[in-house]
Structure 1
């Protein structure tokens, strides 16, 4: 009998549980996808070396962040749903149900909902992982054969994580319910909201809130001077400033509008503003958290999408696209690369008397004829720019000059190598094998990348084989090769791009549904107020408009502050991204479309509750 009553109660709250269910399903689906990419050994086989090792680390970071936000979301959503059903449980107790039975009931309900949401999320996550991993592999220029999004360890850990969270929630629900008296459960909807009337403190708090936010925004923008201190300053000032802003500044604005007789006298504005004043007082902590999560979610998508610009920046750091050591006719991939320009230079390598240091000998005339180029990096106001410079004999006179360092990077990628310029006669007299280097500039690096990488790898293997053949056992650094730089940066950029996008979507779904739960949890107590307005003659269209305006304010206020946080917070990434505001309209459009959808759903559910005729 008790289970029948429980299912009847769940059915009456079906729409609310669907919202919770959808948020949990999305969270578990994304969590499973991150786990699969971070744990699956298929990404370490074949041609997948350093690229996916870095990408896996990025997604591991995403797992931690998603786990934290999931914990916050389940805590909020669980407490709201429990508060909405307290009256039902109180009625069951009045009908004779024992506390232990009610405890088992709420415990079982919580675990069943969590388990079903996790299983459905994993099923969806398998299909999403299949699609996302293929796109990610394609972006990285890699190849995977017979890869499936189904990965048993990821399923296991996803189930374990979410079931543990819901187990803790179920234990807390049972404890809280048993410790609450029947009278408190029945009168849950009738608890008054305490309003604070200290006007002087509210004014001080409002000024402090705006001032703290200003300090936080300044710290983010002045990262160049403050360095890591800007993060700590920004974190504490923006968090505290957001709380003060919602607790006083926005409330003061509502009070100010209520004091304007001309404004409040139209339609139901006075009632709507009164409702909003109570909401802001009751929702201060929640709205502060939502504004911060909104900023994190929108910032994650914006920064994630702009990480792709790092790839363009990495391409600018190297002038030559391919460096071929002793090129041969067997370089089959060369015919697939569209070469725009080719520069050739000869040099010789000998071992110094210490038998450890390689000395690179270059003909002065060869340097003058080849006109070798390199990219010079400069920074202005923490922004990186690149300019092309020519290597000359004069610039190489100083062995510690930038030109000498760049030339050594081109000719001999040995960290301990030293450069020595000699005349034509001295060069010809050297008893060492002549090495020919071809420096290629291609027409489209990205389109030709796969062939360029194969060509560069073949050249690198040939160089290593030649060194071994002549007994030159040097440590070799391949960081100067453009293909390796591109591979490294693109793996990081692609990982952060996908992680930022999906984390942002998960954050948005959770924060919007959390706000939705909070609004709907007070709908039952608001029903009598709207019923009274309807009885005294208020038209249904005006009542619906009042609800739309009230809920719109609750959605817009945290979103507005979150947007301001993002716009100033992006200043922090100027030292990392060339233009963190590039194509900002894309994430903003995606975000506001989804946020609007949650707002419309909330309005519809709220209207169905408070305007439902008995």
Structure 2
């Protein structure tokens, strides 16, 4: 009988349970996506130039586990908020508390286990789709990555089942300790917490001070190094908490005192709702702001490396294309290069010990070399500069390496007149150089030209990367192989963190929806139009999403200072990752608003 009543209750709230079930599926799917990377040591070590990558991923895995725990707590609260009144009714009808506790445990474990199994399968599919999308769009090389990774499956299943067992025990304990009347009238319990004005002022000052110290440490990370990172982490976390605990509540109070804002539409009601919730949401909003910064930062750095790789190649070779003894197909392909800004031709002869060049050609078209500048510990190419002929004649032939094949780099260099050049025995070979405006735009053509160069000069295929081949494309491939793993990880994990943090906030908001039904129903009964109620909901939830988003963006803008040590320009094309992230975040906002309206306006006609 009790089971039948329970099934009837679940059927009556099927839409809400589908939201809960789908949320738990996504949580386990995202957790699996992360673990497929974090537990695969071969993937981590072979796709990251950072020796500490394995430790970094283990820390990230622990962090994601904490996020998952928080997510389960709020999802569990959402479940209990829907069922507490039902359980109270069962107990009023004579059901024993022990039986109700068993029923709760069964519901929690069945829903959780089923969601985890489906979510893990979905996670494998999502991992395959996301990885294929990233690999196809980013021109990156990934080793030892498999969408299905058995250790990740086992970790996901064990972790979530343990969490749901803990949740079932907590639910039982809470139910047995709660009086029946409180279960029946739980949505009428007040939760407002007053705050002393002096305490609020102190927290505001401390919050701003902690954030200022943290941001300063990130800007000066090259000076303070590890100590600066530790101080920044502690102060920014504390500053974020104080910011939400005191400052935003104070700002809402100021808005309530402004009669023009307060008396417009349902703003007074909306501000009262926010003021009522902000204290209860402090920890969640602070957590979401920090996770927002981590997720957006990961995506920004990941995409940043995509544009950094061609720029790194620019710092390693002065010419975009060098044809040494080219075949006809390579010469034909050069016609497809776009934005060619400079070309040069050189005649070359060589014997067993020496490579000969014409003085007249080097005077007319000087050999180019990279001109470097220093900035934040990263060698930055300021452009190219012509090499003086006198430097080459005096024995400094290093600049000529840019137009030589490997077999020539070990020989002596002589720059001679046309008459002397003609007297040298042997055939004359040709070297053609090209510099274009945009290496990345011409990359597909350059790749084909390089393949023809390898055919004409098989020695270019020997060795590893640019150790045997000094062309810009070879250096691009070397940088791509080193940093594409970080690019993939950053984007992949940023999406995972975004989904988790937005889901946590969504369920935190939805868990309080049941207690708001009467408020919105009362407003509707006194004549408030439905569209005004919908606008009030959109504004209220919009503020709860917007506040951590703004703080998270500010954290990222300062946090990117850390990457100036290992990236040429971490702020390049910020609009791309920010746009992607904001669109995905907005989708979660719209979904949360739609679900919340479905709960609180269900009885409003």
How would you bin the TM-score normalised by the shorter chain?
Answer: 0.7 to 0.9
Q: Would you say the 8 A contact 2:207–2:242 is kept in 1?
A: yes
1:377 is paired with a residue of what secondary structure?
Answer: strand
Q: Would you say the 8 A contact 1:243–1:285 is kept in 2?
A: yes
2:543 is equivalent to residue 553 of structure 1:
yes
2:586 is equivalent to residue 596 of structure 1:
yes
Separation in 2, partners of 1:58, 1:454: 35
2:371 is equivalent to residue 376 of structure 1:
yes
**In 2 relative to 1, CA 501–422 (structure 1 residues): closer, same or farther, beyond 3 Å?**
closer
Q: Which residue is 1:284 aligned to?
A: 282
1:74-93 deviation digits (Å, cap 9, x = unpaired): 32232123223331456556
How far has the Cα of 1:486 moved from its partner?
Answer: 0.8
Separation in 1, partners of 2:5, 2:475: 64
Q: Which residue is 2:340 aligned to?
A: none
Q: Which residue is 1:197 aligned to?
A: 195
1:395 maps to which of 391, 395, 405: 391
Q: Which residue is 2:474 aligned to?
A: 484
Separation in 2, partners of 1:603, 1:328: 63
Q: Would you say the 8 A contact 2:30–2:500 is kept in 1?
A: no
1:612 is paired with a residue of what secondary structure?
Answer: coil
2:586 is paired with a residue of what secondary structure?
Answer: helix
Separation in 1, partners of 2:216, 2:547: 22
Separation in 2, partners of 1:590, 1:461: 43
Q: Would you say the 8 A contact 1:523–1:609 is kept in 2?
A: yes
2:468 is paired with a residue of what secondary structure?
Answer: coil
Alignment map for 1:374-523 (pairs within 5 Å):
374-380=369-375, 384-392=380-388, 394-395=390-391, 405-407=398-400, 438=431, 440-441=433-434, 445-458=442-455, 461-462=458-459, 477-478=467-468, 480-492=470-482, 494-523=484-513
Separation in 2, partners of 1:544, 1:391: 69
**In 2 relative to 1, CA 463–264 (structure 1 residues): closer, same or farther, beyond 3 Å?**
closer
2:172 is equivalent to residue 178 of structure 1:
yes
How far has the Cα of 1:53 moved from its partner?
Answer: 5.0
Alignment map for 1:77-116 (pairs within 5 Å):
77-86=71-80, 87=84, 88-89=86-87, 95-96=95-96, 97=99, 99-100=101-102, 102-116=104-118
Separation in 1, partners of 2:46, 2:428: 34
Q: Would you say the 8 A contact 1:309–1:577 is kept in 2?
A: no
Separation in 2, partners of 1:263, 1:335: 69
Q: Would you say the 8 A contact 2:241–2:286 is kept in 1?
A: yes
Q: Which residue is 1:354 aligned to?
A: none
Q: Would you say the 8 A contact 2:28–2:116 is kept in 1?
A: no
**In 2 relative to 1, CA 581–536 (structure 1 residues): closer, same or farther, beyond 3 Å?**
same
2:256 is equivalent to residue 258 of structure 1:
yes
How far has the Cα of 1:512 moved from its partner?
Answer: 1.8
TM-score, scaled to structure 2: 0.77
Q: Would you say the 8 A contact 1:520–1:606 is kept in 2?
A: yes
Alignment map for 1:37-56 (pairs within 5 Å):
53=47
**In 2 relative to 1, CA 457–573 (structure 1 residues): closer, same or farther, beyond 3 Å?**
same
Q: Which moved more, 1:454-463 or 1:592-601?
A: 454-463
**In 2 relative to 1, CA 15–346 (structure 1 residues): closer, same or farther, beyond 3 Å?**
farther
1:440 is paired with a residue of what secondary structure?
Answer: strand
2:119 maps to which of 117, 120, 127: 117
Separation in 2, partners of 1:545, 1:420: 79
Q: Would you say the 8 A contact 1:20–1:77 is kept in 2?
A: no
Q: Would you say the 8 A contact 1:83–1:521 is kept in 2?
A: yes
1:459-479 deviation digits (Å, cap 9, x = unpaired): 6643799x9xxxxxxx99337
CA RMSD of aligned residues (A): 4.7
1:193 is paired with a residue of what secondary structure?
Answer: coil
Q: Which moved more, 1:278-287 or 1:531-540?
A: 531-540
Q: Would you say the 8 A contact 1:28–1:122 is kept in 2?
A: no
How far has the Cα of 1:254 moved from its partner?
Answer: 1.7
Q: Which residue is 1:47 aligned to?
A: none
1:132-191 deviation digits (Å, cap 9, x = unpaired): 44445xx2599x9xx9x9x6x815344323212211211211221233343527535455
2:206 is equivalent to residue 211 of structure 1:
no
1:195 is paired with a residue of what secondary structure?
Answer: coil
Q: Which moved more, 1:245-254 or 1:126-135?
A: 126-135
Q: Would you say the 8 A contact 2:38–2:61 is kept in 1?
A: no
Separation in 2, partners of 1:70, 1:599: 21
Q: Would you say the 8 A contact 2:36–2:152 is kept in 1?
A: no
Q: Would you say the 8 A contact 2:35–2:61 is kept in 1?
A: no
> Alignment length, in residue pairs?
572
**In 2 relative to 1, CA 497–608 (structure 1 residues): closer, same or farther, beyond 3 Å?**
same
2:152 is equivalent to residue 162 of structure 1:
no
How far has the Cα of 1:95 moved from its partner?
Answer: 1.6
1:95 is paired with a residue of what secondary structure?
Answer: coil
How far has the Cα of 1:249 moved from its partner?
Answer: 0.7
Q: Which residue is 1:527 aligned to?
A: 517
Separation in 1, partners of 2:57, 2:7: 34
Q: Which residue is 1:341 aligned to?
A: 344
1:539-594 deviation digits (Å, cap 9, x = unpaired): 54444333332222211111111122223333444455454444433333333333
How far has the Cα of 1:378 moved from its partner?
Answer: 0.9
Q: Which residue is 1:234 aligned to?
A: 232
Q: Would you say the 8 A contact 2:300–2:577 is kept in 1?
A: yes
Separation in 2, partners of 1:582, 1:183: 56
